[in-house]
A and B are shown apart, each in its own frame.
Chain A
Amino acid sequence: MESVELRAAIRDGIAEEMARDETVLLFGEDVALAGGVFKVTEGLRERFGPARVFDTPISELALAGAAFGSAVTGRRPLIEIMFGDFMALPMDALVNQAAKCRYLSGGRATAPLVVRTAVGAGGRFGAIHSQNPGTWLHGVPGLKVVCPSSPDDAKALIRAAIRDPDPVVFLEHKRLYSLRGPVGDEVPRLAVPGLARVARAGADVTIVSVMKGVRDALAAAELLASEGIDAEVLDLRALRPLDVPAVVDSVARTNRLLAVEEGPQTGGWAAGLVGAVAAAALDQLDDAAIVATDPTPIPFSPPLEDAFLPGPERIAAAVRERLGAVVA
């Protein structure tokens, strides 16, 4: 199978859906002529024309509201909020308008829109171009939050997001845009159980994460394998809906859970996940822990940002420590 970059996998997925469904529109800041600051949407304006792919003002609130209004009236808008940090601006349109319209209307109105946004730290972008807004949104009924960790998932999930009948926030980790890998033709349903995926099978501990955290967990698992520890890595692929059944299944085999979150523990998805697994399967759990970041804004200086982030070494160290504690 051909190996493609994650950014190209997203682009291919968008192009396939735009070719398949002429109601799909793509708009945002610099997405058309420039092809996006991360070059995800390059060439789509040329292919699908300026009526379907167009640039907008730097107006995140109007942009998200335009997505909502056009979605309710029969389009499938796909918008880009350039950086995840900017998601602070369009929250009313997303949270109060789009997310609630199916329920409030008794199913008579739906908002099938997708918001793509680039998230994640590690690029020396500083505190307000590095956050992961997934945890601002994963508690909002009516929204879905999906987040790929590989080119294959990126294409599959963007296609699923565009086809979904309700609003979806699609998180793209900036450190993964250049990741290469094979790409298939799966279009999953954004529902649980069945959304999470075992990225690496193992018997001793379940490491759960999303996006860059999955890559780090896989690297940590390789480090641990050389020490005789067999870690399973589970990729949730979405923060809402959260595939708790998949985690419970894995923990039933390993009895140990480590959730890795690129963000603070308080209010994060990992804390909610560990709680949900404990509530569902406490008898299966010998141990549960979280690797998260410090509860600070994301620092700029390279040594500070590196210390802030979870990485393979910290994940592996956490596994050793927790297993050691159990063994001792």
Chain B
Amino acid sequence: MTVDAMGRAPAVEEPPAALPWDGGEPGDAGAMLAAYERMALIRAFEEAVQRLFLSGEVHGTTHLCNGEEAIPVGVASALAPGDQLAATYRGHGHALALGVEPAGLLAELMGRASGTCGGRAGSMNVIDLEHGLLGCFGIVGGTLAAATGAALGLRDAGGVAVACFGEGAANQAYFAECLNFARVLELPVLFVCENNLYGEYTPWEQVTAGGDVAARARVLDVPARRVDGNDVRVVREAACEAVARARAGGGPGFLECVTYRHVGHSRSDPARYRPPGELEAWRERDPLDRARAHLRDGLGLSEDEVAAAGARAEQQVEQAVAAAQAAPFPEPEAVEEYGDGVG
């Protein structure tokens, strides 16, 4: 990676010669365009969430994933119906990548009755099993255990579970416990570390001994790769390999996807801790730009075809915003619904 000059991003492996959607197979252009459109949907959605937060319509806090879109889209593209993925509090992109309805997801963030969870969950805790979203978890590292358990539950049916987490989770008890647990029980789970170089506000290298998250997995005999998390094709290739191995009974896999969030940790974070020039350098590696370039230069699509996909994504978000804004809030009487009724 060119930004290695800053000394902050760990070096990633060279991508294999053949990547998905490289034009070698019929339908490659369509699949790559669909992946791009999904990433564009996530970007447009996050931008809408930010606007709606500033206008007071999205409540509480938000954790946006601008810049990291290639990871959820690449990983989700490797999954099959019935698989489950656990996402973090930075989970809007994962939900959308899995096919959760944008209008329902946005309504959830706005506390509306039509939200994915009826407005009970909010931005950080969305659950949608039907679309393969095991849940979004507000505690750093929680996804590792939830997905490890889901792998146990899905194994006999040939299913696979995925845990997504930031590099900060590498320092939680969950990390060591679950990687070991999944290895000794040979569970079909893929651990996806989204290393965006900051644990909340703190540079990851200041608080992560050894400087290599993937190496911690290898110590436990979990096959691990560190890849460019800003290239959806690279993420897809690596995820497909690990998912196929897990599904065939080969046990857990581990991906460290190096990436960067274009925004602060949460809505209250202006990200002043970044060195000058870092964000600009990473914008040069924007996963959407790189996908567009491949669609045009590698797959021969016209500028208009690519732009149309982006426009469709933006239109979908506009419709979601309108639908969510028009949706009613829950009735206060619904507060006890789905509770356990114990005083």
Q: Which residues of A contact B (CB under 8 A)?
A: 25, 54, 56-57, 59, 61-75, 77, 89, 92-93, 96-97, 100-109, 141-144, 166, 192, 240-242, 244, 276
Contact = CB atoms under 8 A, between A and B. Distances in A.
Given A62-B145, A66-B145, A104 B120 contact: yes
Nearest to B189: A69
Contact of A68 (B117, B146, B151): B146
Given A69-B153, A104-B120, 20 more contacts: A57-B181, A62-B177, A69-B146, A69-B149, A72-B134, A73-B153, A92-B142, A93-B142, A93-B145, A96-B138, A97-B135, A97-B137, A97-B145, A105-B117, A106-B117, A106-B118, A106-B337, A106-B338, A107-B338, A108-B130
Given A97-B137, A106-B338, A70 B128 contact: no
B153 A61 contact: no
9 contacts: A68-B149, A69-B152, A69-B153, A70-B153, A103-B339, A105-B128, A106-B117, A106-B120, A142-B339
A98 B27 CA distance: 42
Interface residues on B, range: 35 or more
B87 interface: no
A67 B152 CA distance: 9
Contacts of B343: 244, 276
By CB atoms of chain B within 10 A, which of A70, A89, A93 has the most? A70
Contact of A240 (B84, B121, B161, B342): B342
Interface in B116-158: 117-118, 120-121, 125, 127-130, 134-135, 137-139, 142, 144-154
B173 interface: yes
A152 B125 CA distance: 40
B14 interface: no
B121 A105 contact: yes
Given A65-B144, A70-B152, A101-B135, A59 B338 contact: no
B50 interface: no
7 closest pairs, A vs B, by CB? A65-B145, A69-B149, A73-B153, A62-B177, A70-B153, A59-B177, A66-B149
A324 to B, nearest CB: 34
A166 B338 CA distance: 11
Nearest to A59: B177
Contact of A96 (B84, B127, B139): B139
A65 B146 contact: yes
B338 A70 contact: no
A57 B184 contact: yes
Contacts of A108: 117, 127-130
A301 B338 CA distance: 47
B153 A62 contact: no
By CB atoms of chain A within 10 A, which of B121, B129, B130, B342 has the most? B342
A73 B149 CA distance: 8
Nearest to B334: A106
B149 A70 contact: yes
By CB atoms of chain B within 10 A, which of A100, A103, A141, A244 has the most? A103
B249 to A, nearest CB: 13
A96 B141 CA distance: 12
A128 B158 CA distance: 41
A144 B342 CA distance: 9
Contacts of A143: 340
Contacts of B86: 69
Nearest to B122: A104
Interface string B154-174: 100001010000000000011
B135 A109 contact: yes
Contacts of A97: 135, 137, 142, 145-146
Nearest to A96: B139
Given A61-B173, A109-B135, A68 B121 contact: no
A106 B117 CA distance: 5
A92 B139 contact: yes
Interface in B180-229: 180-181, 184-185
By CB atoms of chain A within 10 A, which of B129, B144, B149, B177 has the most? B149
Contacts of A70: 149-150, 152-153
